[in-house]
Structure 1
Amino acid sequence: MLDVTGLEAAYGDSRILFGIDLSVGDGEVVTLLGRNGMGKTTTIKSIFGLLPPRAGRVVVDGADLTGAAPHLVARAGLGYVPEGRQIFPTLNVEENLRATAKPGKWDIARIYELFPRLKERRRNMGNQLSGGEQQMLAIGRALMTNPRLMVLDEATEGLAPLIRADIWTCLRRLKDEGEAILVIDKNVDALTTFADRHVVIEKGRVVWTGTTAEILATPDVKDRFLHV
């Protein structure tokens, strides 16, 4: 579904990515792991055209979208839940959901089934929601584009444990329904309960990749590359 090869990126003269390779197949859940500042968000921004790559390729279903405008990447079937949520603060919950709606299996009724709290708060403005509710809304808004691949940057950062558990339950359900997912998060133990593969980056380079069984069998990966 998504194939990224040799991706390089920079902010001005500061190079951040040095040849990132990763892929996500149909229905597959892949994690992008690493300490803060290692290039995870830069990788996502480069995939979505928010930061033009210096080199490499981003291919979606065989189409080369390297450096394409973000709306073209979204139109190709990639849904984005950005770090910081970035919902529309002066639109209510339902307006936020309708703003990105595209025909398909995901509609407002299904989003409310997935996140009943959003139905309760559907008339509240985005800036009246808690952090957890905003994250639910950000996920719902991305699903309303009916993507073939969901990309989540810091899926549960800063959320209370109960809300975090709700997000993991949501992602497991999406996987069970055949949704492809690329997720960044620090909760490796939770990710290994449902993810298929893991890509670890360090200083803008892929330093380890493998299946869940392999990362569980290699505890030094977490010690070397993920612990602060």
Structure 2
Amino acid sequence: MLDVSGLEAGYGESQILFGIDLHVQAGEVVTLLGRNGMGKTTTIKSIFGLVKPRAGRIMIGGKDLTGVEPHRIAMAGLGYVPEGRQIFPTLNVEENLRATARPGKWTIARIYDLFPRLEERRRNMGDQLSGGEQQMLAIGRALMINPQLVVLDEATEGLAPLIRADIWACLKRLKDEGEAILVIDKNVDALTRIADHHVVIEKGCVVWSGTTREILATPEVKDRFLHV
């Protein structure tokens, strides 16, 4: 589904990524872990063409899409839930969902089934929603692309505990329905309950990768690379 090999990228004269390898198979949930500033978001932005890679290859569905325009990445089947949500503030909930809609199994009715709160707020503008509602909308908007892979950057950052629980329940449901997911979040305990594989980044390099069973069996990984 997604195969990233030897990815290097940066901003101006600063290099941030040094040979990132990352793979997500169909129906698999993979996490991208690491402390703040270690290159996680730059990795995601490079995959989506928002940062031009300096080296390496990004394969999506068997096609080489390294450094192509972001709209072509979306058309190739990647849905993006960015850090900070970035919904359209002057469109209402339903207009936000329709803005990215492509034919497929994910419809507005199914999004409302996944997030009933959005149906209640369907006529509210994006900037009238709470942070949790905005995150639900951002996930729904990504799903309306009917993607092969959903990518979430900081899935639950800044959300209240009850809303976080709703987001984790949503991701568990998506996994159960066979959706492929790549997720960044700081809540390792929650991630290990839904993810199949984990990739840890330190200073722009992959320093560890393994299954959920392996990361639970090696607590030193969290102590060394994930604790502040």
Pick the TM interval, shorter chain: over 0.9
Does residue 214 of structure 1 match 2:214? yes
Amino acid at match of 2:206: V
Alignment map for 1:52-67 (pairs within 5 Å): 52-67=52-67
Q: CA deviation at 1:61?
A: 1.3
Does residue 72 of structure 1 match 2:72? yes
Amino acid at match of 1:196: D
Q: Equivalent residue of 2:142, what SS?
A: helix
What TM-score, normalized to structure 1?
A: 1.00
Q: CA deviation at 1:44?
A: 0.2
Q: CA deviation at 1:145?
A: 0.3
Q: CA deviation at 1:62?
A: 1.1
Q: Matches of 2:200 and 2:144 in 1, distance apart? A: 29
Q: Matches of 2:22 and 2:10 in 1, distance apart? A: 18
* Per-residue Cα deviation, 1:57-96 (whole angstroms, up to 9, x for no partner): 0001110000010000110000000000000000000000
Q: Matches of 2:194 and 2:159 in 1, distance apart? A: 20
Number of equivalenced pairs: 228
Alignment map for 1:147-186 (pairs within 5 Å): 147-186=147-186
* Per-residue Cα deviation, 1:183-210 (whole angstroms, up to 9, x for no partner): 0000000000010000000000000000
Q: Matches of 2:194 and 2:36 in 1, distance apart? A: 23
Report the aligned-residue RMSD: 0.3
In structure 1, the residue matched to 2:3 is: 3
In structure 2, the residue matched to 1:199 is: 199
Q: Equivalent residue of 2:56, what SS?
A: strand
Does residue 137 of structure 1 match 2:137? yes
Q: CA deviation at 1:141?
A: 0.2
Q: Matches of 1:198 and 1:162 in 2, distance apart? A: 25
Q: Matches of 1:181 and 1:55 in 2, distance apart? A: 24
Amino acid at match of 2:52: P
Question: Could you tell me the percent identity over the aligned residues?
Answer: 84
Amino acid at match of 1:110: R
Q: Matches of 1:31 and 1:21 in 2, distance apart? A: 13
Q: Equivalent residue of 1:198, what SS?
A: strand
In structure 2, the residue matched to 1:128 is: 128
Q: CA deviation at 1:14?
A: 0.5
Q: Equivalent residue of 1:4, what SS?
A: strand
Q: Equivalent residue of 1:101, what SS?
A: coil
Residue segments in structure 1 that go unaligned for 5+ positions in a row: none
* Per-residue Cα deviation, 1:27-46 (whole angstroms, up to 9, x for no partner): 00000000000000000000
Point out 4+ residue stretches in structure 1 off by more than 3 angstroms.
none
Does residue 97 of structure 1 match 2:93? no
Q: CA deviation at 1:53?
A: 0.2
